[in-house]
Amino acid sequence: MKIISSIEELRDQLRGQLRTAFVPTMGNLHEGHLSLMRLARKHGDPVVASIFVNRLQFGPNEDFDKYPRTFQADVDKLEKEGVYVLFAPTERDMYPEPQEYRVRPPDDLGNILEGEFRPGFFTGVTTVVLKLFSCVQPRVAVFGKKDYQQLMIVRNMCKQFALPTEIIAAETYRAEDGLALSSRNGYLSADERAEAPNLYRVLNQTADEVRAGHLDVFELERKAMSELAQRGWKPDYISIRKRNDLQPPSAGDLAQGAQLVVVAAAKLGATRLIDNLEI
């Protein structure tokens, strides 16, 4: 595996490659990330991964400097997966001058749910993803469904800018007890780790009620939030939304059987976990 930090060297290395499959990450890799590499290999060749902790998507109250960086362990894992190139730029490589041009998602998608609780987050994400796509020029790129809103925003960005990159959605990789794998799980204490799967359990419970015909969305959301709060969580949101645009479903949408997803974000102790479940 070649490890490259320079954009110019990366472009030289990939020149002439027409089927590149790309997986962007911020490092601290776990089995969920590695499953994305395997899916990428099914859709293209060579497989390129990136590790870059993107300052633009960290809010003023989010500690960029404390984000876990495990570069050598990440390299070892990617080599075992047969990744061809690891693009690992420094901040100076990615942002040799202040990144004053930004890509801002539309407010009705970028400022709801995660965007409401993390202002500016998705502008940071879309800006760095567009720049990474410019560097790698992939035919396909793989993003996990765990970050459901991010996946939708990146996919819509590619469509509106007519980018020649197909976005492949990877199913959420879960531990045996149902907890979605996340770098943030490492912050959980032993007791919190034992409690954490209840987020997924509550999502399943909510989805089951919708499937059973209980369509009072507000009541189902309130019930789910209340149950988590009683268990010591601090939920930001548990929300039933339409899959196609993440807007709340109308009575007509529900009557017509619109495809839905229940999305959630909640703090357990000091750790904020997100998850979702398609209904």
Helix axes 148-160, 121-136, angle to 10 degrees: 60
Distance of CA 271 to the CA centre of its chain: 16
CA distances from 261 to 130, 149, 264, 274, 275 (A): 26, 11, 10, 13, 11
> Which of 30, 33, 43, 214 is an active site residue?
33
Residues contacting 255, CB < 8 A, separation 6+: none
Instruction: Please give the Cα distance from 222 to 214 (Å, whole number).
Output: 13
H-assigned helices in the chain? 7-14, 31-43, 71-80, 91-94, 107-110, 114-117, 121-136, 148-160, 190-195, 198-211, 217-230, 251-255
Q: Is 33 tagged catalytic?
A: yes
Please list the active-site residues: 33
